[in-house]
Amino acid sequence: MEKIIVDRIENVKGWFAAKELERNSISCNNWDYQSDVNADFVIGYDCDNLYLKFFVQESNTKAVNTKYNEPVYEDSCVEFFVSFDGEKYYNLEFNCIGNVLGGYGANRNNRERLATELLTKISTKPSLGKNRINIIDRKTEWSLEVVIPKAVFKNEEIKTFEGLKTTCNFYKCGDKQAFPHYLSWSPISVENPDFHLPEFFGEVVFGN
């Protein structure tokens, strides 16, 4: 099982210095899809927020979904799935222009969408801007910074992230990109692409 000890970040003012954190690779090509994608992420926290930054290099970068809970997984997309109790989990999915889809439940088929009122609490800073995009003639580097307040995890009673032990996975996908792909941080051992398998999540511990 993959494992990360997450560093606490001090004196955060809205965002954070990602260069201070260790990069983790989203490189498990579990189903051998053809892809030229390279993807990494960093994760940090303070008492009230989780901080993520994704770094991506890929060809055929695109995003057409601009509203909350639209199918961003069809675009150039990065995803963060997290379980606090080992049973149900949250899926937060972001396209390269920072739009988000969110859900909660025990498996792929038993989920509820997170309300827009919750998703608006999440801040995103995409390097490509927030307008629709379709880059087909070159390889593109892009990044996405994400700040997730603890209130987004509506079914938890989180006083502070410090000391929490969770299970998570991080993904890069693009169902309707020119070359569909399904990459993960923690490996997944099933026959067909499926990210909604918490039994394959890795361990993520929020340190002191």
- Is residue 84 very low, low, confident or very high in pLDDT (cuts 50, 70, 90)? very high
- Is residue 17 very low, low, confident or very high in pLDDT (cuts 50, 70, 90)? low
Query: What percent of the chain lies above the pLDDT cut of 90?
Result: 86
Q: Of the given ranges (6-10, 30-34, 158-162), which has the lowest mean pLDDT?
A: 6-10
Q: Distance (Å, rounded) from C-alpha 146 to C-alpha 15?
A: 8
Provide the pLDDT for residue 35.
86
CATH architecture for the domain at 3-10+22-193+200-206:
Sandwich (2.60)
- Name the one residue in this structure whose structure tokens are 């770094």: 55
Provide the pLDDT for residue 12.
61
Query: What percent of the chain lies above the pLDDT cut of 70?
Result: 96
Instruction: For residue 29, count CB atoms less than 10 angstroms from its CB and return exposed for 0-12, middle for 13-18, buried for 19 or more.
Output: middle
What rounded mean pLDDT belongs to the chain?
94
Helix (H, G, I), strand (E, B) or coil at 77: strand
CB-CB neighbours of 138 under 10 Å? 8
Q: Distance (Å, rounded) from C-alpha 83 to C-alpha 162?
A: 15
- Is residue 151 very low, low, confident or very high in pLDDT (cuts 50, 70, 90)? very high
- Is residue 83 very low, low, confident or very high in pLDDT (cuts 50, 70, 90)? very high
Helix (H, G, I), strand (E, B) or coil at 4: strand
Provide the pLDDT for residue 20.
73
First to last CA, the chain: 22
Mean pLDDT, to the nearest integer, of 86-102?
97
Provide the pLDDT for residue 19.
64
Q: Which residues pair with 70 in a beta bridge?
A: none
Q: Distance (Å, rounded) from C-alpha 118 to C-alpha 111?
A: 16
Q: Distance (Å, rounded) from C-alpha 108 to C-alpha 194?
A: 9
Reply yes or no on whether the pLDDT at 127 is more than 80. yes
Mean pLDDT, to the nearest integer, of 174-199?
96
For the chain, give every domain's residue range.
Answer: 3-10+22-193+200-206
Quick one: which H or E segment has residue 184? strand 182-184
Full-model pTM = 0.96
Residues 197, 193, 172, 195: what is their CA dihedral angle, to the nearest 10 degrees? -10
